[in-house]
A and B are shown apart, each in its own frame.
Chain A
C-alpha cells in the first residue's frame, strides 16, 4: 500500500509538472487526501475501474474535455454512486469540500473555455430543415428523402442537427447545386405547369360483361393487401387533390385496410391512411398532398399476400361484390374464409379523380418580387436579388455581397444567356451559398457571448418550425427588438400557435426519443408474423402524436412517464389487444390499469427500438432510459464481450434476464450492468415488438417458457415490481427528469451538445418550471426566455 501511495504521489507530482499549474492549497489539503482515501485505490496506474484513471486527470479546466470529465466525477460523487457502497464512505463534510473545489474550478474555467470557441459558429441545415426552408422560401415542395436528393445526416443520440457533426463534403455541394436548380425551376418554370385532371371508373365499358353474367353491377376494383391499381398520374411534382370513392372492409378479425398511394418509379408509398366504409355504403376519401412526378397505384398496404410470382391467377377476376365474386381458380390466393368473410382487409374502389399540380395562392405569393419583371433591368434585378438573398440567408445583405451575384448575371448575359436565365444563375448561386445552407452565429470582428436579433430569429424559427423566420420575425430582427423579453414572449406565443409548430412536435420527439431506430432491425417474420410496415409507422405515430397531445394540451412533463391515456389508431389497438377506436385516424383514448400502458416508456415504439428483431434487449432498454430520460450515456461495453448464447436444447429454458444475470456476475461486467440493467428489466413484460406478456417465449432449451420477472431495484435501492411501479419511481425523480428533458430541448434547438457550462442554466430553467408542474409549453417558454437560449 505504501508503495502504491508513493507511486501515486510521484505520478501526481510529475503530472502537476506537465499540466497546467494548480497552486490552490485547498487541493493538497482537501481534495487530494479525499481522492487518496476514497478514489485512487481503484482509479490509479495499477487499476482503472470503468477504464477511468483519476490520478492523471488533467486539472486544466480551460479545456472543455477536461471540464466535462470533472463534471462526470462530481455527478458520480453527488449521486452516491462513487465510492461504491462496499467501500469506505466519506463524511458529508469531506464530500462537500471535494465537490466544492471541483465545481469552483469548473466555473472558473468557463470564461477561458468560452474564449476558446471560435468567433463564428456554423451550423449546417439538416436535410429536413432544408426541405422546410425551401418550401417556406419559395412554396416549392422538394422531397429531401428522394433517393439521390441528399445524404442522410449523421446523428448524435438521435439528434440530426448537431452542428459539429454536419460537415460539408464535395458530394453535399454537388447535391445542393442540383437541388437549387430543381427548386428554382419549379418556382419559376419557363412554362407554367398545366394543372391536369383525370378520372378512372371501374364500371366504365362493363355493361356488356354485366349483361352476359346477369349481374346488376356496378363493376368495382377489389384491391387486396399488397396489390394496387394504377389510377393516378402526376405529370409534374406538386400539390395534388385526389378523390377516391371506395368501400373499405375490415378483415374477418377486424383489421382495417390501409390505403396508400404507391409511386411506381420510387417503389414506395407516399401517402397512407387507414380507411373504413361498408360495402354497400362507399365513402369518398379526399387527399391533398405533395406528389413527386410519376405514376401512382392506389394500393392496399395492409399486410397479407406476398407477391411471390408463383401464383398466376392472383386476383384477376371481375368483381362486383363479396357475395357474388370469387376466385375463379383454386390455385389463386385464398381470399375468403370458409364462412365467406374476407380474410384480409379489402379495398373496393369505384372511381378515382385527381387534379394537379395545384399552386396555392399562398405559395404563389412567396415568389412575388423575387424575379425582375422586365428583361435587362439590372436595377430591378438587384432589388429582387436583395429580397431573395435576404430571406434565404436570413439576414441583411450588403451591397458588396450583391455585387458578386449581379456579376454572375452580367457574365451569363455576356456568354449569350437570355436575361431570365442569367438571373436564374444568380439565384442558384444564392441557394448554393454557404450563407444559405449554414446558419451562422457570431461575427468575425466581434466576440459576442449572445446571439444578435437576426440569429435569434433563426434560432427560434429553426427550433419551432425547422425553417427560416417569417416576415414578422424578420421585421422584428430588423428593428432590433426581438430580444426584448416582452417581444420575444409574444413571438413565442405566436409561433407556438402557428400550424408550422407541428414540425417541432413531430421532429423533436423523433430525435429526442431516437425513433429513427424503430424498424432498424426488422422483426423476424417467423417470430412476429403480424408485424408490418403500417404497424411500424403507427408505432412512431403514437409516440409523436402523444408528444403533440402533451404539447397542445400543455400537460406536465410527468405525462411522458405516466398517464391514463394514449394516442391510438386501429392498427395499434390491434397490436395492443385494445378495442378498436371509433375513428380510423390517430385519436386519444383512455387507458385502464390492466392495459399496462401509459406514458412513453411502455409504448411499443420505445420497446421495439431497443430490441434487435428477434428478442427484447433489457440492457439496451436500460441504456435508452438512461439516455432519454436521465440524459446520461452509460459507458460502452468493453471489447470482446461474449454474446449471450442460445439455451442448449438439454438445458431448461432461460429468459434473457436469467442469462444476463449469469453474464453480469463477471466483475468486469457487473459494475455497469448493476446500474443499467434495472432500468431495462422493468420492461420484461413486453416482448421485442412491445406486446404484453407474462411468460417469455424461448427458442431452444426444454420445459415450459419461463415466467417473466420484472422486479428490480434502482441503483439507489428503491425496489419496483413491473413497469408501472418503475414509472412511478421515475416520477419521484421529476426534477432530474425535467432537467434532462430541458437538456434535450437545448441540444435540439442550440444544435450542440450541452456541456458542464450549460448545467447551471439548465438547472435554473427547470427550477422555474417546477411551480407550474413542468407543463410542456411553460418549460419551452422558460427555455426560450432563458439566458441559455440566447447564449452563443
Chain B
C-alpha cells in the first residue's frame, strides 16, 4: 500500500507504536482551561499503587514495550483536578478501585508549573519515561466499554483450560480492545448475575457481558485475566448503583469540585466569584445544588489534589447570583458555571484554583486528619508524588 513494502511497513508500525507518546497531540493543560475534546494520550494498565488522598497512583502498563514489563518502572500519574475516575459504571475515587484492576485513561503532559508533581525516573530508567502523566480520565474496563456502547458476547468458555473467548458487540471503542479476544478465567473470577454471586458454570455462550480485567502471567503479551464479570443488566445496574451511592456520600462530605473562573473584588469587602463545577459527578449532586441555590453555597479552597484544609471552617458562604449551563462542555467540565456574591473572599479564590462547593443542605463533616492539609510544609510535601 502506497508502495511501502510489507517489511518496511511493519518497521514503520513499530516505530509508530514507540513514537505515539512523542508525536501525540501535546496539549499542555493550563489552570483555568479545560482540554479540547478528543485530545489526550490513551494509556492502559493495571492499577498497582495508589495515593488515594492526593489522587495519584502507578499503572503497570499493558504489554512489554521496550522490555518495560521485565525491567521497567510503573507509570506514575496524577489525576488532573478535573480528572474523572469511573468504576463499575459510576463516578469513583481512586480509593474505590481495588488494587490490581486494569484501567484505561487519557493523559496529558504536566500542566505548566507542575512538571515536578511526578518526579522524573532515575537515570537508569530514563528510557522508560512517558511524559503524559496527568490523567483527565481513568476508567475500569466495565465503565470504559459500557460508556462507549461496547459489550462482549461470550463465544465459548473452557473452565478446564481456564479460557474464555469473547467478541466485541455494539459500538466499537476507538481505543482498548475491539477484536475477538481470549482471556484467562478461573474460580477466583467473581461472576455476577442479578444481585448475587454465581459460578463459572452460569457463564454460557451468547451472553452479553461486561467485565473487569486483571493481571495474567501472559501480561507481556497483552494477556489478561477476567477478575469480575457481570452477566446481565440487573447485575450491572446493581454494581453501578452500589458505586454511585458510595460516590454520592463521598462527595457530599467533601463537596463538589470545581475551579474559579474569575473574581471581581470590592475594596470594601467581599466580591463576586464565578466558578465552574468539574464534570463526572453523579447528576443528582448537580441537581441538588441547583434546587437549593437560593440558600447559597459554601466554597472551600482546595489543592490541585482536591484536598481541602479544614473545609467546614475555611469555607465562605456566598449567594448565587447566576446559574448557567452550557451544552457539550469540554472534558473535565460539568458545563455548570455559577456566579456568586460573597461578603468575604479567601486568598485561594484565584482564577484556575480548585475549590469545593457545598450545597446548603449537606451536613458538615470533619475530614480525617490525613485528608486535610494542615500546614504549609504539608502543602509543599503533598505537591509532589511520594510513593515507593
Complex: chain B residue closest to A225, CB-CB: B269
Q: Collect the chain B residues with CB atoms within 8 Å of residue A530's CB.
A: 266, 268
Residues facing B in A370-418 (CB within 8 A) are: none
Shortest CB–CB separation between residue B83 and chain A, in angstroms?
A: 20
Cβ contact within 8 Å between B270 and A332: no
Which of A114-122, A199-207, A247-255, A458-466 binds B? A247-255
The total of chain B residues at the interface (CB under 8 A) is 25
Cβ contact within 8 Å between B265 and A305: no
Cβ contact within 8 Å between B267 and A253: yes
Residues facing B in A331-368 (CB within 8 A) are: 331-335, 337-338, 343-345
Shortest CB–CB separation between residue B133 and chain A, in angstroms?
A: 25
Whether B309 is near chain A, meaning CB under 8 Å from some CB there, is yes
Residue in B266, B268, B346 whose beta carbon sits within 8 Å of that of A331 in the complex: B346
Cβ contact within 8 Å between A310 and B269: no
Whether B351 is near chain A, meaning CB under 8 Å from some CB there, is yes
Whether B241 is near chain A, meaning CB under 8 Å from some CB there, is no
Q: Collect the chain B residues with CB atoms within 8 Å of residue A335's CB.
A: 347
Given contacts A255-B268, A304-B267, contact A312 B313 (CB under 8 A): yes
Residues facing A in B246-289 (CB within 8 A) are: 263, 265-270
Residue in A327, A330, A334 whose beta carbon sits within 8 Å of that of B309 in the complex: A330
Whether A643 is near chain B, meaning CB under 8 Å from some CB there, is no
Given contacts A305-B344, A306-B344, contact A330 B267 (CB under 8 A): no
The total of chain A residues at the interface (CB under 8 A) is 33
Given contacts A312-B313, A331-B310, A331-B346, contact A305 B376 (CB under 8 A): no
Cβ contact within 8 Å between B346 and A333: yes
Q: Collect the chain B residues with CB atoms within 8 Å of residue A214's CB.
A: none
Q: Collect the chain B residues with CB atoms within 8 Å of residue A328's CB.
A: 376
Complex: chain A residue closest to B315, CB-CB: A310
Given contacts A310-B313, A312-B314, A328-B376, contact A333 B267 (CB under 8 A): no
Whether A329 is near chain B, meaning CB under 8 Å from some CB there, is yes
Residues facing B in A275-325 (CB within 8 A) are: 302-306, 308, 310-312
Shortest CB–CB separation between residue A681 and chain B, in angstroms?
A: 31
Give the CA-CA distance A590 to B268 in the complex, in Å. Answer: 27
Give the CA-CA distance A337 to B346 in the complex, in Å. Answer: 11
Shortest CB–CB separation between residue B254 and chain A, in angstroms?
A: 16
Cβ contact within 8 Å between A252 and B267: yes
Residue in B268, B301, B348, B353 whose beta carbon sits within 8 Å of that of A304 in the complex: B268
Most buried by A among B266, B267, B270: B267
Shortest CB–CB separation between residue A308 and chain B, in angstroms?
A: 7
Shortest CB–CB separation between residue B349 and chain A, in angstroms?
A: 6
Chain A residues touching B, majority SS:
loop
Residue in B266, B300, B349 whose beta carbon sits within 8 Å of that of A529 in the complex: B266
Shortest CB–CB separation between residue B267 and chain A, in angstroms?
A: 4
Contact with A along B199-237 (1 / 0, CB 8 A): 000000000000000000000000000000000000000
Cβ contact within 8 Å between A529 and B301: no
Q: Collect the chain B residues with CB atoms within 8 Å of residue A529's CB.
A: 266, 268-270, 343
Give the CA-CA distance A529 to B265 in the complex, in Å. Answer: 13
Whether B163 is near chain A, meaning CB under 8 Å from some CB there, is no
Q: Collect the chain B residues with CB atoms within 8 Å of residue A327's CB.
A: 347
Complex: chain B residue closest to A309, CB-CB: B313
Whether A470 is near chain B, meaning CB under 8 Å from some CB there, is no
Contact with A along B340-367 (1 / 0, CB 8 A): 0001111111110100000000000000
Most buried by A among B269, B300, B353: B269
Q: List 7 A-B contacts (CB under 8 A).
A: A255-B268, A308-B344, A310-B316, A311-B346, A331-B301, A331-B347, A335-B347
Which A residues fall within an 8 A CB radius of B? 225, 251-253, 255, 302-306, 308, 310-312, 326-335, 337-338, 343-345, 525, 529-530, 532
Closest 9 CB pairs of A and B: A330-B348, A251-B267, A331-B314, A334-B345, A303-B268, A327-B347, A330-B301, A253-B267, A304-B269
Q: 16 new A-B pairs (CB below 8 Å) besides A255-B267, A311-B314?
A: A304-B269, A305-B269, A305-B344, A310-B316, A311-B344, A312-B310, A329-B309, A330-B309, A331-B346, A332-B347, A333-B345, A333-B347, A338-B350, A343-B265, A345-B267, A529-B270
